[in-house]
Structure 1
Amino acid sequence: MLASSLFNQRLVRRLQKQKGKTPRRPGQRKQCNIEKDPVGVYCRIRPLGTEDEECCIEMISSSTIQLHAPDGLKANRNGEYKETQYSFKKVFGVNTTQIELFEDVGKLLIEDLIQCKNGLLFTYGVTGSGKTYTMTGSPGEGGLLPRSLDMLFNSIGPFQTKRFVFKPDDKNGMEIQSQVDALLERQKRDSQQSVSKIPQKADPEIADMISSDDACKVENVDEDSCYSVFVSYIEIYNNYIYDLLEDAPFDPIRPKWLSGGTPVRNNEFIPPQSKILREDQNHNMYVAGCTEIEVKSTEEAFEVFWKGQKKRRIANTQLNRESSRSHSVFTLKLVQAPLDADGDHILQDKNQVNVSQLCLVDLAGSERTNRTRAEGSRLREAGNINQSLMTLRTCMEVLRENQMCGTNKMVPYRDSKVTHLFKNYFDGEGKVRMVVCVNPKADDYEETIQVMRFAEMTQEVEVPRPVDRPICGVAAGRRHRNQAFRDELSRQLEERGGPFNAVRDPAQLNHLIESLPAIPPCELVDPADDQMLPRLIEVLQRRHHTRQMIIEEFNKTANTVNSMLQQFDSQLSSKGNFLHDQQSKLSEKDKVIVSQKTEIERLEKKSKTLEYKIDILQKTTDMYEQDKRTLQHELETRDHRLHRELSDRRRIEQHMQGMVTDTRLKWEKECERRVNAKQLEMQNKLWVKDEKLKQLKAIVTESSPAQRPERPTRERDGNIAQKRSASPSPLPTAPAVHPIHRRSHSAGGEKWVDHKPSSNLDVDTVMQPIIPNAIKVSTPNEKALSKCHKYVLRHQELASDGEIETKLIKGNVFKTRGGGQAVQFTDIETLRQECPTAPSRKRRSGSAERPAQLEETENTVSY
């Protein structure tokens, strides 16, 4: 075992050092000195529906057919249509069986598939020409697809791996799983099947597709490799790719799903999710996310195919009751991996895994809408089908032009999903075969001509021949082991001798059988012939003698065998007691084994139940984890949004604070400017008044004392009052300019606003000014002024003798034109408290002290 493991390690290192380890194909193919093969085009003629139908196709030979126009069409077109002949690689007539077609078309592709070569086989023709029947067949008459599956599994059946040893890597490649991982997946699958699978009867449409007499296989299968088959099934509908094997998810809360993963919501049809095409690391095109199922038998593979076939889109048209409305692609993917030197285990090297595939394509039939009278969705489907087939024809034309004329025009593979998916085959990835199906009835003549022209052009397209790759470069492990087993068996037979000599030397027995003389002809031509009967008797006697010799040899051998058996029985009788004891022990051990098996089965059932529960809990946990991640993501999004809003708000607040600060500074400066301007204006007005008073004083001073009016004086508090002369006038003076109008106090209609500032002090005098029916305020306001007619202001200041002097400044309240209130001052009353012991003040000469008399003033205050 140590030597074999060292050999395996060295072998793996040697294989890793080899160049060109990529199993699929080299990254770049040189275009010089490349052998090319033309596209193999075959033609199959469908039988007519009725015998009285007019036929427009005649089979000239095994490779040529002739088309002639119907009589009615010749008459309408003045003989424009002529009889034309078309040649193919082979033509299959109306009596061709499915097995004959497969022998010539599909068998070679399966042999190439096992030899690590890719292949593409597709059917082409108008609607109702038998394409689906050629590809699928019917019960008892299987088509190309079931026969390809049967031949493949008949060839690799003994050499298949267990399930889940190979696993798709979702990149058009395969990975090798360890034995533990594969075993876990098998147990998981078995537990799911034991819990959820309900035994069903075999589908009658699947059973008996191929009879046992038609079975065939490939003989030169490498025994030192292990194989596994994966299948996938897609359809191209309206130039969109859909997976026909994709299972619809089951959710009891959400709406139900139709076939193909199609939910019904509000009675609306929602198509399933389409797939996209991608390119792998070897520049091969594949369908991303396509379901690949591992199958182990023909029945299982065809059951998977039929499961997808039931989801395929078909419709009833004027030309075909079950017309295919999409192109279907069934892919057989064969995975091969070499075994180790002992032939027991797979080499855990992904670079040594070879993947080859065979694509079986059933193209939708081309049709003219004026014949099918298609409308709505049927018209759209027909347009997309014809467009994709036209793109295929355009690609073939460009390929032929590039090859024949030496041009390098770009082939428009990307214009259609069909051509884009199979572009690698036309670039030399594998062999390409096409079966052209035609309907010989006269109604399809014009469409058949277009099909023949396309087929004739396709035959001229040459595809690079795929490069042969060795399956594996390891020693013959399994072959060596099988050959060693055969040699050991022969050696043991030789050692035994005796009755096995005949088996050891079968040539002697064959020589005896061949030495029997041949029986001459026994037909008597002439009644007088007397030589034929003696010669016949002589031959029969010799044959009888030889037969007696063979019987004697057989009896001798039988006697020898009987003697050996008797000796063997005697030996067994001597060992009977020992065997009896051993059998009793074995029976006890068997009981223990049975009990242990029962316990193991119970534990296995319990383990499967627990695994199923764990699986359910795992799914529930995954669902909650997904919800948690979703909510966490939403919370983070909202937190991020909240932080962003807070930062925006802070930024806006800072911006607004800056604007407020700037505005406040601006208005402070503006207010200061306006106050300064107002103060300057008031100072100017005060200066003007002072000048006027000075002029008035000058006028009064210059006039005579008898005619001089009372001199206005300016008090310290800014109030203007007129004082009478200290000496009484001998004659009565003229009345005042603004005589004071006093209403009668008995009227009771005067209301006063008593304005007493909060800074005034209460003096302890006996006589206090009492104003009835007054509104007392500390600051004047428009509301109080609007309710009163009179206004009085209490003003306090220090007199020259240091006592507090209180002045009552009175005025009338009136409304202004602007709707406000204004006060016109009319009187000033001065209240003063004097101490009798205080020294008297100096009086002016020639004047006596008189009580102050209040005169009217012209000051007016507005609010």
Structure 2
Amino acid sequence: LFFRKCKTPRRPPKKPSISFYPPVTFAQVYCRVRPLGVEDEECCIEVISSATIQLHAPEGFKTNRNGEYKETQYSFKKVFGVSISQIELFEHVAKPLVDDLIHGKNGLLFTYGVTGSGKTFTMTGSPGQGGLLPRSLDMIFNSIGPYQAKRYVFKTDDKNGMEVQNEVDALLERQRRENNSSVPKSSSSRQKLDPEIADMIKSEEAYKTEGVDEDSSYSVFVSYIEIYNNYIYDLLEENQEDAIKPKWNGGGTPLRQNTEFTPPQSKTLREDQNHNMYVAGCMEVEVKSAEEAFQVFWRGQKKRKVANTRLNRESSRSHSVLIVKLAQAPLDADGDNILQDKNQVTVSQLCLVDLAGSERTGRTGAEGTRIREAGNINQSLLNLRTCIEILRENQLCGTNRMVPYRDSKVTHLFKNYFDGEGKVRMVVCVNPKADDYEETLLVMRFAELTQEVEVARPVDRPICGFTPGRRHRNQAFKEELSHVPSVINSMVHCLPPLPSSELADPNDDITLPRLIEALHNRHRIRQMMIDEYNNAANRMKSMLQELDNNLISKENVIHEQNGKLVDKEKIIQNNKAEIERLEKRTKMQEHKIDILQKTTKIYEDDQRTLKYELETREQRLQREQSDKRRLEQRMQGVVTDTQYKWEKECTVTPVRPLHRRSRSAGGEKWVDHKPSSSLDLGTVLQPVIPNSIQVSTPSEKALSKCDRYVLTHQEVASDGEIQTQLIKGEVIKTRGGGQAVQFTDIETLKQERKRKSSEGTPANGDHTDGAWTDVETRCSAAVEMRAGSNLGPGYEHHGITKRRKP
């Protein structure tokens, strides 16, 4: 094969920007190079810069007509080499999409590449090395964690929309779900988290989105689907895997009534009121933490279709799509509750797509079901390339070709993203080994086309018109910033009131002594209060001193106990580390066992399928052989019947005596079939058929009444005279109750005119004693000739009669 890197055609001049046109951006494509599996294996990819890679043709692969090797370069938004970490990939690729999601914008991120190029590792990751998906979930909940609404406040309407319930309805919904045992409880975050999942979610740095609207409430919904053989299945639906499997009896063979493998009912794609595509009837689970969201994803991941091929031990046989929906609605003016207005609810979604790898059946060694799966995968990826090419052609060349989104479920589901409903980003995963060189070239060409497609960027939309800071103001009123200490008042001695000190008489000797006595009493009482206060203060000091001594002794005891606790905690931490290590080892062993069980299960299913196909083909072969024998017998009978029929037709069958009358009695009745085109020859003697029915066209009614049949036929002879033929036959009865004519004799009547020569003799020299021109001579010659009575009707002038069997 010869591949040539096509140059991008020159873009037409841009139109002047208009204010109401939405801004546009290009689909961003990144490239990630997987490390080689074997050190001595030949490498065909070289990273020459942070945005460019170069492909080298392997040995023995000629790329041009001269048989020379050719090197091609491809540019991307950014190229990630073999030493790139998962966190660096997340920062450049997925983090901006999460920021847009929290700010109410949509995003699409999918991985693309050949089988075994590292797409699933890039998207999902492994224990200790979480991929783009778990890190995106962690960043979402780190950003909106304090502002999440309670469960079931947001509720899906099954039409790709979102409704808001009040607190009472949400509380009733929570109680109903908790009491209903048939509905699975969604509070899976309270359960013990799988250590393997925890390692995949754990991140070195807690990423958060800046500028989160604190006056809004948020809720996250996740749904997980797969597109398998161009059918859409819900991986979160219960018993979905059992619906795909064929039913088997106890003996390991399929039941007779389930001999045909029919695919289960898949989910359908529909269009909502905003012309966005969604999966109807898909289960959407509300989650409240990154652990819970990833646990829901992992539950569906175990149902995904995988198979063991020559190129990949766990090759994805379907396209998986994780849809993360973020619903947000503003708080009311007081900052207490969410606005009960459906129009104020903003729903944004982020689609994380792990595309199945393109593969060639010759390299993977696929057979049976695997061939059909590979064909559907390659067809869907081919349709994705076709849509990108037509979309790019329409944008660059100004054409208006219809983009075939509906030809595949993958392109039909993400049609709105390419039409301008959000950002589109793609991570192209490549394997640098030489065996994948040809397929890698096709992937590079498709990636080059994709990053030239323009996608409209949605504009920011204001959520509501309330003033910001409502949540903080409401919390300020609810918090108690100061505490009033309780004061225990002791008994308070009230001072006696002073007597009246008004002097109305200068000789008054009572008022002043009374005032002096009252002042002495007040002084005495005041002194008593001071003494009592000092005594109480001394008692309080002694009590505080005693309390301090007790606290010091208790602190010493506590310090001693803390030392012992530290030692115990170190022992516990060591034990926990050992337990965690053993749990990880156990999980890895369980994971390996699960893989082996899946592989064994796949092999068993393939064995049963092949056994069933073998039995079906044997039955079909036996049925075809029996049909062939029956057909041979039938054809032999048909040949025998046909041979007998032709022998019967070639042999003149005598008329049965029971259906004939005696000829001597004159009982035969003729059908005289004389066409309307017959000419009158003007001769004296004419063929006369007594006891006949004259017809001009064949008549079944006339045949039923007669025993013989004669057909008059005229044609021009070679000498120019008209020749008449009487074709005779017998009418016989058929087995079906009808009549058939068997021709047995042809009688020819020919008229010859004798003309005189110039010397007065006939032209042919047969008669010399008279001319044939007079009527008398002609009549006398004709009377001498007559037709034989045994030959039936028919006369010929001059006795020339020809009779032959047909």
Q: Which TM bucket (shorter chain)?
A: 0.5 to 0.7
Give the 3 Å change call, closer, same or farther, for CA 402–113 of structure 1 in structure 2: same
The DSSP-based 3-state class of the residue aligned with 1:397 is: helix
> Following TM superposition, by how much is the alpha carbon of 1:154 offset from its aligned partner in structure 2, in angstroms?
0.5
Distance 2:183 2:107 in 1: 40
Give the 3 Å change call, closer, same or farther, for CA 344–260 of structure 1 in structure 2: farther
Equivalence map 1:551-700=2 (5 Å)? none
In the alignment, residue 432 of structure 1 is paired with which amino acid? V
Equivalence map 1:430-445=2 (5 Å)? 430-445=422-437
Q: Which residue of 1 aligns with 2:277?
A: 285
Distance 1:259 1:318 in 2: 27
Q: TM-score, normalised by structure 1?
A: 0.51
Contact residue 262 and residue 271 of structure 1 kept, 8 A: no
Instruction: Pick the aligned partner of 1:474 from 453, 459, 466.
Output: 466
The DSSP-based 3-state class of the residue aligned with 1:330 is: strand
Q: Which residue of 2 aligns with 1:312?
A: 304
In the alignment, residue 431 of structure 1 is paired with which amino acid? K
Q: Which residue of 1 aligns with 2:444?
A: 452
Give the 3 Å change call, closer, same or farther, for CA 81–285 of structure 1 in structure 2: farther
In the alignment, residue 79 of structure 2 is paired with which amino acid? V
Q: Which residue of 1 aligns with 2:488?
A: none
Instruction: Pick the aligned partner of 1:300 from 292, 304, 311.
Output: 292
| 1:246 paired to 2:246 | no
Contact residue 326 and residue 363 of structure 1 kept, 8 A: yes
Instruction: Pick the aligned partner of 2:218 from 203, 221, 227.
Output: 227
Instruction: Pick the aligned partner of 1:264 from 212, 223, 247.
Output: 247
> Which of 1 and 2 has greater Rg?
1
Q: Which residue of 2 aligns with 1:557?
A: none
> Following TM superposition, by how much is the alpha carbon of 1:179 offset from its aligned partner in structure 2, in angstroms?
1.9
| 1:116 paired to 2:104 | yes
The DSSP-based 3-state class of the residue aligned with 1:264 is: coil
Distance 2:150 2:214 in 1: 16
Contact residue 193 and residue 291 of structure 2 kept, 8 A: no
| 1:82 paired to 2:64 | no
Instruction: Pick the aligned partner of 2:209 from 204, 207, 218.
Output: 218
> Following TM superposition, by how much is the alpha carbon of 1:273 offset from its aligned partner in structure 2, in angstroms?
2.2
The DSSP-based 3-state class of the residue aligned with 1:72 is: coil
Q: Which residue of 2 aligns with 1:591?
A: none
In the alignment, residue 161 of structure 1 is paired with which amino acid? A
Contact residue 232 and residue 290 of structure 1 kept, 8 A: yes
Instruction: Pick the aligned partner of 2:171 from 175, 178, 183.
Output: 183
Please say which of residues 264-273 and 455-464 is displaced more in the overlay: 264-273
Equivalence map 1:384-403=2 (5 Å)? 384-403=376-395
> Following TM superposition, by how much is the alpha carbon of 1:481 offset from its aligned partner in structure 2, in angstroms?
1.1
**Deviations 1:221-267, CA, capped at 9 Å, x for gaps:** 1110000000000111111111111113xxxxxxxx85467573553
- Over the aligned positions, Cα root-mean-square deviation in angstroms equals 2.9
| 1:147 paired to 2:138 | no
| 1:411 paired to 2:394 | no
Distance 1:181 1:151 in 2: 30
In the alignment, residue 380 of structure 1 is paired with which amino acid? R
Instruction: Pick the aligned partner of 2:326 from 331, 334, 349.
Output: 334
| 1:425 paired to 2:417 | yes
> Following TM superposition, by how much is the alpha carbon of 1:177 offset from its aligned partner in structure 2, in angstroms?
1.6
Q: Which residue of 2 aligns with 1:381?
A: 373
Contact residue 286 and residue 421 of structure 1 kept, 8 A: yes
Contact residue 25 and residue 454 of structure 2 kept, 8 A: yes
The DSSP-based 3-state class of the residue aligned with 2:60 is: helix
The DSSP-based 3-state class of the residue aligned with 1:229 is: strand
Q: TM-score, normalised by structure 2?
A: 0.54
In the alignment, residue 86 of structure 1 is paired with which amino acid? Y
Contact residue 22 and residue 459 of structure 2 kept, 8 A: no
The DSSP-based 3-state class of the residue aligned with 1:374 is: coil
The DSSP-based 3-state class of the residue aligned with 1:312 is: coil
Distance 2:354 2:148 in 1: 28
In the alignment, residue 40 of structure 1 is paired with which amino acid? Q
Give the 3 Å change call, closer, same or farther, for CA 31–130 of structure 1 in structure 2: farther
Give the 3 Å change call, closer, same or farther, for CA 260–63 of structure 1 in structure 2: farther
Distance 1:473 1:345 in 2: 16
Instruction: Pick the aligned partner of 2:56 from 68, 72, 79.
Output: 68
**Deviations 1:289-348, CA, capped at 9 Å, x for gaps:** 000000001111001101111111011111111100111100000000110111110110
Distance 2:374 2:49 in 1: 34
| 1:368 paired to 2:353 | no
Give the 3 Å change call, closer, same or farther, for CA 212–147 of structure 1 in structure 2: closer
> Following TM superposition, by how much is the alpha carbon of 1:477 offset from its aligned partner in structure 2, in angstroms?
4.9
Contact residue 247 and residue 260 of structure 1 kept, 8 A: no
Distance 1:259 1:314 in 2: 16
Q: Which residue of 2 aligns with 1:205?
A: 196
Equivalence map 1:735-774=2 (5 Å)? none
Distance 1:486 1:82 in 2: 73
> Following TM superposition, by how much is the alpha carbon of 1:484 offset from its aligned partner in structure 2, in angstroms?
4.9
Distance 1:308 1:372 in 2: 26
| 1:461 paired to 2:444 | no
Distance 1:292 1:139 in 2: 26
Distance 2:162 2:265 in 1: 25
Q: Which residue of 1 aligns with 2:113?
A: 125
Give the 3 Å change call, closer, same or farther, for CA 49–281 of structure 1 in structure 2: same
> Following TM superposition, by how much is the alpha carbon of 1:213 offset from its aligned partner in structure 2, in angstroms?
2.4
The DSSP-based 3-state class of the residue aligned with 1:205 is: helix
Contact residue 246 and residue 261 of structure 1 kept, 8 A: no
> Following TM superposition, by how much is the alpha carbon of 1:488 offset from its aligned partner in structure 2, in angstroms?
9.2
The DSSP-based 3-state class of the residue aligned with 1:65 is: strand
Give the 3 Å change call, closer, same or farther, for CA 326–300 of structure 1 in structure 2: same
The DSSP-based 3-state class of the residue aligned with 1:233 is: strand
Give the 3 Å change call, closer, same or farther, for CA 375–145 of structure 1 in structure 2: same
**Deviations 1:142-198, CA, capped at 9 Å, x for gaps:** 000000000000100110011111111010001112222211121122234699889
Q: Which residue of 2 aligns with 1:96?
A: 84
In the alignment, residue 368 of structure 1 is paired with which amino acid? R
Contact residue 334 and residue 474 of structure 2 kept, 8 A: no
Q: Which residue of 2 aligns with 1:159?
A: 147
Distance 2:418 2:198 in 1: 36
**Deviations 1:109-142, CA, capped at 9 Å, x for gaps:** 0000000000000000000000000000001100
Distance 1:52 1:31 in 2: 58
Gaps of 5+ in 1: 1-29, 249-256, 497-565, 574-863
Give the 3 Å change call, closer, same or farther, for CA 52–485 of structure 1 in structure 2: farther
The DSSP-based 3-state class of the residue aligned with 2:199 is: coil
Give the % identical residues.
76
Contact residue 104 and residue 346 of structure 2 kept, 8 A: yes
Distance 2:87 2:243 in 1: 33
Instruction: Pick the aligned partner of 1:40 from 28, 45, 50.
Output: 28
Distance 1:260 1:173 in 2: 29
Contact residue 22 and residue 458 of structure 2 kept, 8 A: no
> Following TM superposition, by how much is the alpha carbon of 1:468 offset from its aligned partner in structure 2, in angstroms?
1.3
The DSSP-based 3-state class of the residue aligned with 1:304 is: helix
Contact residue 156 and residue 221 of structure 1 kept, 8 A: yes
Give the 3 Å change call, closer, same or farther, for CA 451–71 of structure 1 in structure 2: same
Q: Which residue of 2 aligns with 1:347?
A: 339
Instruction: Pick the aligned partner of 1:168 from 136, 140, 156.
Output: 156
> Following TM superposition, by how much is the alpha carbon of 1:479 offset from its aligned partner in structure 2, in angstroms?
4.3
Contact residue 241 and residue 303 of structure 2 kept, 8 A: no
Please say which of residues 372-381 and 320-329 is displaced more in the overlay: 372-381
Give the 3 Å change call, closer, same or farther, for CA 195–279 of structure 1 in structure 2: closer
**Deviations 1:436-466, CA, capped at 9 Å, x for gaps:** 0000000000000000000011111110111
Distance 1:411 1:395 in 2: 6
**Deviations 1:497-518, CA, capped at 9 Å, x for gaps:** xxxxxxxxxxxxxxxxxxxxxx
In the alignment, residue 316 of structure 1 is paired with which amino acid? N
Q: Which residue of 2 aligns with 1:136?
A: 124
In the alignment, residue 210 of structure 2 is paired with which amino acid? E
